[in-house]
Amino acid sequence: MTIVKAKDYTDLSRKAANIISAQIIMKPACVLGLATGSSPEGTYKQLIDWYQKGDLDFSQVTTVNLDEYRGLPPEHEQSYRYFMNKHLFDNVNIDKSRTFVPDGLADPVEGCKKYEEIIKSTGGIDLQLLGIGVNGHIGFNEPDVFFESETHCVDLTENTIEANRRFFNSKDEVPKQAYTVGLRTIMHAKRILVIASGENKADAVYNAVYGKITPEVPASILQLHNDVIIIADEAAAKKL
């Protein structure tokens, strides 16, 4: 694992965007695995900025997102498809038909199977961007998930529902289930880039890097991947 310490969120976002840019420059028709949430917002902003300056070209890029809330349609403001359109896709020259996000309205079995086939049909993820949950989840792979899982439907933990309620009017509105790419699929990505910001991520980052490899800390499986970069700002890297 390569650990990169960033000064703050801006520095972290810039460093992460640099790595993604390098990937796109080295292989314009690359496949990016993408995440939503607070962690990557700054990274996407930076990528948009470089695109607008003419330094980046997304025209051949394919993207596969990690997860989606079960039951939310793509036009719902809290759906991850909506997030991706707003924070990245609508602002760069990507071909939207090559941007994939699990369908929140799909049948749990058929929809997940189809999504896994889509990922395989892309030829594999070149660079997977990940945020990390305060409980060590990656994607929506909550603690105790099977390490070998592919795309599946999960019950969100109280902890995650609580962490995500800030985006909804009330806790009751937070969906209780989600579709997520599994750990097995994530581990197949050629390179993995984890970004973590803020003190509340310090334990999760420490456990992911130095803790026991256990399904109780899903991110700990990343210790077994041979090309992982973790960028953490000072607060998130506090315990390293």
* By the rule CB under 6 A, 205 interacts with ligand F6R: no
**Judged by CB under 6 A, which of 139, 175, 182, 218 binds ligand F6R?**
139
- Report yes or no: 59 and 97 within 8 Å, Cβ to Cβ: no
Let me know if 94 is exposed, middle or buried by CB neighbors in 10 A (0-12, 13-18, 19+).
Answer: buried
Minimum CB separation from ligand F6R for residue 77, in Å? Answer: 15
Subset of residues 161 to 190 that bind ligand F6R, contact rule: CB under 6 A: none
* By the rule CB under 6 A, 46 interacts with ligand F6R: no
**Judged by CB under 6 A, which of 12, 67, 179, 204 binds ligand F6R?**
67
User: Nearest CA to 33 among 22, 15, 20, 46?
Assistant: 20
**Judged by CB under 6 A, which of 39, 63, 151, 207 binds ligand F6R?**
39
Of the two residues 56 and 201, which places its CB atom closer to ligand F6R in the complex?
201
**Judged by CB under 6 A, which of 36, 43, 62, 79 binds ligand F6R?**
36
Write down the H helix ranges in the chain: 9-26, 38-52, 80-87, 108-121, 158-164, 183-187, 202-210
- Report yes or no: 97 and 60 within 8 Å, Cβ to Cβ: no
Find the part of the chain contacting ligand F6R (CB under 6 A) among 36-44, 114-122, 202-210, 224-232: 36-44
User: Nearest CA to 149 among 132, 161, 137?
Assistant: 137
Phi, psi of 21 (to 5 degrees): -60, -45
Minimum CB separation from ligand F6R for residue 116, in Å? Answer: 16
User: Nearest CA to 43 among 20, 66, 60?
Assistant: 20
Which of 65, 103, 116, 135 does the annotation list as catalytic? 135
Residues in touch with ligand F6R (CB under 6 A): 35-39, 66-67, 131-133, 137-139
